[in-house]
Structure 1
Amino acid sequence: MLKVNTQVLCLMQHQLCEQSRPFEELKIGYFNQFAKCHIKKLLDIAVCLSETVWSATHICPMLLAYEALMDVLPLIQKFASSESDDFFSNILRNMREAFRKLIGHIKHFIQSNMEKHLDDVAIHPMTCFLICSIKSFGSHRNLVQSTLAPGDNSSSFGHLLYDVITCWKSVLTEHSNIYRADLQRQYIFLLNNAYHFNTKTDGLLDELLSDRQIIKQHDDEFKLLFKKWTESCTEEACTPAKSCLNPNCWWGSQRRSLVAFTSKFNKTFDRQKTWKVPDVVLRQVLKDRIQDCILPDYTRCLENCSSSGLFCSCLQIASGDIYTTETLETTVQGFFEG
């Protein structure tokens, strides 16, 4: 409405001046006098918009309102030439202050809503909220970077956004402790959310952070977290079954170790095959890591038993007591298909 009313006034003024070129300044003066009430309303709306406190769930309306305000502010300034420059500077200052408050509201919203989590949901709603927020900022990149949070200091948009992401990572990690009784599930939860965030903001985030140092810091932190969580997840999945293997023991113990391995591995598989890893790439990475961790030792034990000739491996395999290399590979590929 602000934009429409401003454009209507501009059109009226333009038509008045076009009718006769002489006395143009006089006509503009008369127009401003008779349109004084409407101009006052425009000024009031502009001030009201700039002073409005926006919640974290109203990012899009705020940015759209500010885009409209920035479009018409120069036109309003022409109508209200009697207003001091400070008046319009104050509007811009109000907008920047409101935007900084919005950033604070976003962090608080993430913190206060992180506890709301359903066990069957792989991606936390706050991760999705952050992604949507970043996409909204991306749609108004020039506004947020050049007008609402300009510069290259701690008040710049890149720094503000980095603080929001850091807040999300912190509370996400803290919230993952709900799975502390099952460490692998905790790592799966963290990987699901971090990978989803990175995938959905790839490319856009670099443009918004803009500062090379911040971008590098963000990338390095995520790489370290991915490495840590992936290695820990693999270790938690493999250790119980892998601990049963001893390729250097005598043949009878080797056979028992393979049977024990199968029992332990089946328990792990039955529990984790229904876990959700929505991203196809991440799911395959985790499967491959488990396979690379567990298959070499198992293959050596299997070969040692087979080469000893002291038990018929085909009978053991047929009865389901132990895996072949091929069936173990196939089973590993069934992880995380929930």
Structure 2
Amino acid sequence: MEAMGMDDRRGPWRHCTTSSSSSSTSGTVSSGYTSTSSRLSWLSMEAARQIQEMEMMDLEFVQSPKDLAREKKMKKIKILAKEFFGAPSTKCSAEGGDLIVLERWFTEMGVGWVLHISDGALAGELNDLASSWFLAIIEIVDIFCLTSGLRPGHGAVENMAERLQLASFTQQAILKMLTFLDFIVAPNFTRVPAPYARLHTLLRVREALSKTFYKIQLTFDSSSSSEVATIIRELVDVVSAKEGKVGEIIWSTLKEIRTRIMESLEHGQGSSGTQTPQGSSDIDDATRSVTMYVMFLTDHYSLIEPIVSEASSLGTYVSQFGATERTNLTVEMLSCLEEKLANKSEAFPDPGLRFLFLLNNSSFIAEQLHCTPDFPKSIKIDLVGKVKGYMERYIQVSWAPVLSCLINPTPSCFGKNYSPLSKFESEFQKTYTTQKLWKVPNPCLRNRLRRAIIDKVIPCYTRYLEDDYGNAPLKFSPSNLQEMLQELFEG
């Protein structure tokens, strides 16, 4: 008779009942139940594992959206490659391919104009054209790497002949895209009159070429056929040469801008403000030029640094400072500017105007570079120190002589009808009248400078009136002086 479980149902633990007795001890039953539970747990885990394996096998047959997109793209490229080499139209390339096919693909990517550069048919802003070129060249290179880097039997490329055809097709596409570079590095290139706009475009182009070179290099492996390997090597050589050429043009343009700035400093070409026989305190044109140059170097440091390093290794650039190349270039330019501004200021007959000129220019540089996050902090601190120093020296040479009439009066220098107060009033009026026409273009600096002068003059004048003022008529009250000082530097 088959054993029954404790709830009168047949159970898998029936064999645990002894044949010598119809009753079992509680310990025997408990032992049998525990063994059965472990077996059930194991069976459940095994079933779950098998189900999971089956689900994973099903998932292997489900392509991801990325794989589907790649497969769709590959099918399209295969068709284009067959058309390109299969039935050439009357418009063929030197390699015998159908340029109509290539033009159709380029037009879809927004770079159909590349094939017409030699005809002079180039419409649109260069920056916009370059942006579309960057996107297209990266896409074409990615397709080249995909087609030339896959082994037969991996799904995307069915055989070596097809692989070679796809590699050849994308190779021709890359070569055609590179004709854009011949256009923008040409000596008679005039599409971008502003040198910094051209530099910006050239730097982005070189960055795209660096990525292209790196990706194509990684494509080569030992499984590549000799034909595909030859294509890869040819492209590596061409892209490397183009990258080098663009780098040379970038360095040449940087040197050209630098030389132009240096020449303007040497010849002392004027200030941006109205020049008087006494000079102008306004921001000098050279200061604006150097600041723009330094800011460009800083903003594009990661792209410029390899070019400057290469120029340094070739001996075409000799650093004057033992630091990074970007810092060398910026420090050299700022040091040269500081020297030239100091020399220019020496021609100003009024020492107050001389230091105000230096103050305005150093403050302009410090303010501009303060807004440049990547600019070396040590140079920023040095510039701030120079601004503070020029302000102190300006106040010392301009207003200390005025206050000396009250602080250290020398009777012999006043004359018979002059008192310390009348001498002060005369000197103050003269200085005020002159410096009211001087210019401090930065509103914040102008307010700081006025406040510094007020804090210097008014307390001294007030103390004199409290201590030494007699019954003589008073020409200026302290409030009158403060109102007048608030009118300084309007230009």
User: TM tier, shorter chain?
Assistant: 0.7 to 0.9
Q: What is the aligned counterpart of 1:295 among 436, 458, 464?
A: 458
More helix by share: 1
**Residue by residue, what CA displacement relative to the aligned partner does 1:109-153 show, whole Å, maximum 9, x if unpaired?**
2222241324427222232233333444455343234x4446996
Flag the 1:124–1:298 CA change in 2: closer, same or farther, 3 A: same
- Distance in 1 (CA, whole Å) between partners of 2:173 and 2:241 is 21
| Corresponding position of 2:471 | 312
- Distance in 1 (CA, whole Å) between partners of 2:273 and 2:156 is 73
Contact 1:276-1:336 within 8 A present in 2 as well: yes
Amino acid at match of 1:113: S
**Residue by residue, what CA displacement relative to the aligned partner does 1:132-188 show, whole Å, maximum 9, x if unpaired?**
33444455343234x44469964522322222222222222223334x211211211
Contact 2:298-2:375 within 8 A present in 1 as well: yes
Q: What is the aligned counterpart of 1:129 among 267, 289, 300?
A: 289
TM-score by length of 2: 0.54
Flag the 1:207–1:12 CA change in 2: closer, same or farther, 3 A: closer
| Corresponding position of 2:358 | 190
Q: Alignment length, in residue pairs?
A: 317
Amino acid at match of 1:281: C
Identical residues among aligned pairs (%): 19
TM-score by length of 1: 0.74
Unaligned stretches of 5+ residues in structure 2: 1-129, 149-154, 220-230, 275-279, 311-320
Flag the 1:166–1:248 CA change in 2: closer, same or farther, 3 A: closer
Amino acid at match of 2:156: R
- 3-state SS in 2 of match to 1:293: helix
| Corresponding position of 1:256 | 419
Q: What is the aligned counterpart of 2:259 among 100, 104, 108?
A: 108
**Residue by residue, what CA displacement relative to the aligned partner does 1:23-80 show, whole Å, maximum 9, x if unpaired?**
3653342234356555444455557767979999512322222213322554466395
Unaligned stretches of 5+ residues in structure 1: 210-214
| Corresponding position of 2:349 | 181
Moved more, 49-58 or 163-172: 49-58
Q: What is the aligned counterpart of 2:165 among 25, 30, 41?
A: 30
User: Deviation of residue 230 (structure 1)?
Assistant: 1.3
Flag the 1:11–1:285 CA change in 2: closer, same or farther, 3 A: closer
| Corresponding position of 2:300 | 140
**Residue by residue, what CA displacement relative to the aligned partner does 1:251-273 show, whole Å, maximum 9, x if unpaired?**
x9998211111111111101111
Amino acid at match of 1:116: G
- Distance in 2 (CA, whole Å) between partners of 1:336 and 1:160 is 34
Contact 2:356-2:394 within 8 A present in 1 as well: yes
Contact 2:342-2:358 within 8 A present in 1 as well: yes
| Corresponding position of 2:430 | 267
Flag the 1:23–1:176 CA change in 2: closer, same or farther, 3 A: farther
| Corresponding position of 2:327 | 158
Contact 2:352-2:394 within 8 A present in 1 as well: yes
User: Deviation of residue 190 (structure 1)?
Assistant: 1.4
Amino acid at match of 1:234: I
Flag the 1:118–1:134 CA change in 2: closer, same or farther, 3 A: closer
| Corresponding position of 2:444 | 281
Amino acid at match of 2:261: I
Amino acid at match of 1:106: I
Amino acid at match of 2:402: A
CA-atom RMSD in angstroms: 4.1
**Residue by residue, what CA displacement relative to the aligned partner does 1:78-112 show, whole Å, maximum 9, x if unpaired?**
39512385665555555555444444333322222
**Higher Rg of the two aligned structures:** 2
1:236 aligns with 2:397: yes
